[in-house]
Structure 1
């Protein structure tokens, strides 16, 4: 394989826990909850899937949000509307916290690279393998890569909200291949979502899946990529 495309969330990086997310925003806004209240609120936020990159909703999506949810990654406005809509199902001390929570998840501080992310990206660069990032997302993730010193390894970022196309639509993967000037048949797509990331197979790309786990539980999930590219 001459090129590797990576998903972002759950593949190269992982979002903080829902409790850490809520705790950070309460501190930033100088609001407080008792520990039992905080624990309960975090549990409910997790259940409704309010944290982008966190748990998928374990409760049915409210009818009024369902149409937006299906296309949430096609624009910044839809992404915010979908996730703040889910968040607002959970009572918080101040309604403004729902937007503050959304804003927090877009900051580099809310993300951590997996332990082997830098190692694998660095090894691919040494081998002359081009790298792209293809993500269903509603905001610019480039500052996250810059914060962790990983931006130099990435030759192209193809983000759904910038193109109005979301995975598994093959056109998003084709855009990444065009940006890197490569034949899709020489590309390996690495991601954690079989449906979304599996869409690359329609172009003839190889596909490899990793487990969407907390950073501490997946120390070397990306290393098999180095064997696959030869």
Structure 2
């Protein structure tokens, strides 16, 4: 019987805005006049390098950045350094946009909840089932939950950069189970990354995976969570 649920953040409960909107928002704010074809080409390069936090995974990581990329979620400094370095590799319209793009990726308005995020969290709260967010991340995204009005439905957050350990290490899942006061065998981990989120099985947790699709393409994938209880 499931008595506690852990959720991943990006690609599970929320999704970052499309890379094209991400870049255009920052370029417009900077007052730059960049031809559309150049913007489109830059978006493709940003996606190739996986330079948008929470966006498409990198198709290629420069050898000089591989070590930093592997450890990006362990500290805020490494996270910022990894992603700003990747944006610079994408040959931005202006070099100083790297920091602005990184800041935009942490804005609550850049993130959208999946259509069934709120109703799923409310249903769990109604059933008395505690919820934790367990995420490999290098910044504090609690404000995203607050701005979108669902922070009161989350009992605890376990963020890799705060915990000093990241998924799939069983220790971060154990931390969450301890806080929720449930045995691992009574916990469900819901995420979108098999390699990371399925690490919870090492403790005996159940795992349910969803697809990290754009928000408008995934209306009700979290509903399955309620059927697993």
Normalising by structure 2, we get a TM-score of: 0.98
3-state SS of 2:222 partner: coil
Matches within 5 A, 1:14-53: 14-53=15-54
Which residue is 1:165 aligned to? 165
* 1:58 to partner: Cα distance: 1.2
3-state SS of 1:88 partner: helix
* 1:90 to partner: Cα distance: 1.4
Partner Cα distance (2:105, 2:162) in 1: 18
Farther-moved stretch of structure 1 (27-36 vs 199-208): 27-36
CA RMSD of aligned residues (A): 0.8
Partner Cα distance (1:32, 1:69) in 2: 32
3-state SS of 1:188 partner: strand
Which residue is 1:141 aligned to? 141
3-state SS of 2:208 partner: strand
Partner Cα distance (1:16, 1:105) in 2: 9
Which residue is 1:66 aligned to? 66
Which residue is 1:82 aligned to? 82
Q: Structure 1, residues 26-80: CA drift from partner, whole Å, max 9, x if none?
A: 1222223111111111111111100011111112x11110011111100001111
Which residue is 2:129 aligned to? 129
Which residue is 2:6 aligned to? 5
Partner Cα distance (2:40, 2:33) in 1: 12
Which residue is 1:155 aligned to? 155
Partner Cα distance (1:148, 1:226) in 2: 21
3-state SS of 2:140 partner: coil
Question: Structure 1 unaligned runs (5+)?
Answer: none
Partner Cα distance (1:88, 1:133) in 2: 31
Matches within 5 A, 1:105-116: 105-116=105-116
Partner Cα distance (1:7, 1:228) in 2: 17
3-state SS of 1:100 partner: helix
* 1:163 to partner: Cα distance: 1.2
Partner Cα distance (2:92, 2:135) in 1: 30
3-state SS of 1:84 partner: helix
Partner Cα distance (1:47, 1:2) in 2: 40
Partner Cα distance (1:93, 1:54) in 2: 20
Runs of 4+ in 1 over 4 A off after TM superposition: none
Which residue is 1:182 aligned to? 182
Partner Cα distance (2:155, 2:92) in 1: 41
